[in-house]
Structure 1
Amino acid sequence: MSENQSSIAQTKTSSLSSSMAKFTIPSPLKFLVSNIKQIVTIQLNNENYAIWRLQTLKLFSTNGFEGYLTGSQTSPADESSADFRPWKLVDQNLVSALFSTISPGILPYILNLTTAHEIWTTLEGRLQPTNRSRVIQLKNELHNVTMGDNSMQQYLAQVKSIVDNIAAAGSKVETEDILHYILNGLPAVCSSLVWNKIGT
């Protein structure tokens, strides 16, 4: 290496070290990484993508990191620039945060991906069904849901989960209809008592 090339390399290294020394992890990033599993309350699997996406995107957006998922916060083109390492540090922290919310069955899809944006778009492509067919499927589930051997609390939680997934897929169910589905799914004795009470 010539003296001139050595001087240039030393200058770049010095500049990079200086920029990293000045860089501190932003407080919103610390908050997101520390609390993501408390805020994103489910692990992503093949059945709950809509809710997982809604919770995750809301958390990232609230803390100013939505662009790392959507791709609007792009990597600096020059990897030797002073801006690249801070960007990469933030992005890799976000990647780790995402991994912590994903079930083992989904991880093989994304293990070889390197950025939060790549992970986000890959999961979207694999797991997001067309909204219309998803809504039809979920409303059919809601129509057929029954209490069975569940406790009342478990039954109502199941209904709520279906309704939440319908909302996340871009549709909604009226409150009156939800009550109707809940009552229809109760055991016959309970359902008759409730309907008789309503009719009096």
Structure 2
Amino acid sequence: MALSSTSNIIHTSGKSLVVINGTQLPLKLSAQNYSTWRAQITPLLRGHNLMGYVTGTITSPPTHIEKNGTHISNLDYEFWEYQDQLILAAIIASVSFSVLNTIVDAKTSTEAWNKLQVAFANKSATQILSLREKLSRTKRDSRPVAKYLQLVKSIAEELSLCGSPVNDVDLIIHVLGGIGSEFRDIATAMHARDTIISFDELQDKLLDHELHLKQIDPNFDPTPVIANLMIVMTFLLSHYAEIVSF
């Protein structure tokens, strides 16, 4: 075998073995980003017509064939094995150290692919559902605007890493839906716009409005009424014995 100018390997059968360089797979698989990792590697395998190796549709030829009454090594099998091992090496190189033990004993690319799917595909789907639910339930409550927006954005970034990004429109809807009644004027203005506001622009407007509310009322407390009520209830319950005895 000899290295070609294209970095592929020419097998003795005359066919070209595809070598996947590590630079083509910059994202390393972790327990949190299986969907994104798969979205990275799948087009690469399909583009080189190698997807069948990991899915098992390109099956192993017989190791030996009969020629002129003699059993000889099958070059097609040798080519298949070499290509499969190159794919396996690429998969191993594309996972983080913490994930490596999941496929350390895999003998073929199909085996490694299936092990990763079993280990992370269902977990990834569950994590996406959990994060989507968390995003839908996130409200400003007692948080300052900056902390509320930071929380929303961090959840959206986690979803993106899981391969389920939140589009700009949905993100704005989530923010406005949980910002609270004190910012009703801002929400109304955003809905009246002809174009969708960006997250950064919305953030500036909400922070400015929060500052405005504090300027016109130095005693303005961004904490919603329900949060204040909970604080009062907590205080009363913690001092119940003292109140009764008095």
- If the TM-score is normalised by the length of the shorter chain, which range does it land in? 0.5 to 0.7
Q: Could you list the runs of 5+ residues in structure 2 that have no partner in the other structure? A: 1-9, 65-72, 141-145, 180-198, 211-246
Q: Secondary structure at the match of 1:129?
A: helix
Answer yes or no: is 1:192 the counterpart of 2:206. Answer: yes
- Alignment equivalent of 2:16, drawn from 25, 41, 46: 25
- Alignment equivalent of 1:138, drawn from 131, 136, 145: 131
Normalized per residue, which structure has more strand?
2
- Alignment equivalent of 2:173, drawn from 156, 176, 180: 180
Q: TM-score, normalised by structure 2?
A: 0.54
Which portions of structure 1, spanning 4 or more consecutive aligned residues, are displaced by more than 6 angstroms?
A: none
Alignment of 1:106-185 (within 5 A): 106-129=99-122, 133-143=126-136, 144=138, 148=147, 159-163=156-160, 165=162, 167=164, 173=166, 175-181=168-174
- Alignment equivalent of 1:60, drawn from 35, 42, 45: 45
CA RMSD in angstroms, aligned pairs only: 3.8
Per-residue CA deviation, residues 74-101 of structure 1 (Å, 9 max, x unaligned), is 1113353221111111111111111111
Per-residue CA deviation, residues 50-80 of structure 1 (Å, 9 max, x unaligned), is 1111211121112211001111011113353
Amino acid at match of 1:86: F
Cα distance between partner residues in 1 of 2:124 and 2:172 = 24
Larger radius of gyration: 2
Distance 1:156 1:162, change over 3 A: same
Cα distance between partner residues in 2 of 1:52 and 1:145 = 31
Q: CA deviation at 1:133?
A: 3.5
Q: Could you list the runs of 5+ residues in structure 1 that have no partner in the other structure? A: 1-18
Normalized per residue, which structure has more helix?
1
Number of residue pairs aligned between Structure 1 and Structure 2? 164
CA contact (8 A) 1:138 1:166 kept: no
CA contact (8 A) 1:145 1:159 kept: no
Partner of 1:37: 23
Percent sequence identity over aligned pairs:
21
Partner of 2:92: 99
Amino acid at match of 1:23: G
Distance 1:117 1:132, change over 3 A: closer
Q: TM-score, normalised by structure 1?
A: 0.64
Q: CA deviation at 1:126?
A: 1.1
Distance 1:20 1:177, change over 3 A: closer
Answer yes or no: is 1:76 the counterpart of 2:90. Answer: no
Q: CA deviation at 1:125?
A: 0.8
Cα distance between partner residues in 1 of 2:128 and 2:155 = 16
Cα distance between partner residues in 2 of 1:142 and 1:64 = 39
Distance 1:194 1:85, change over 3 A: farther
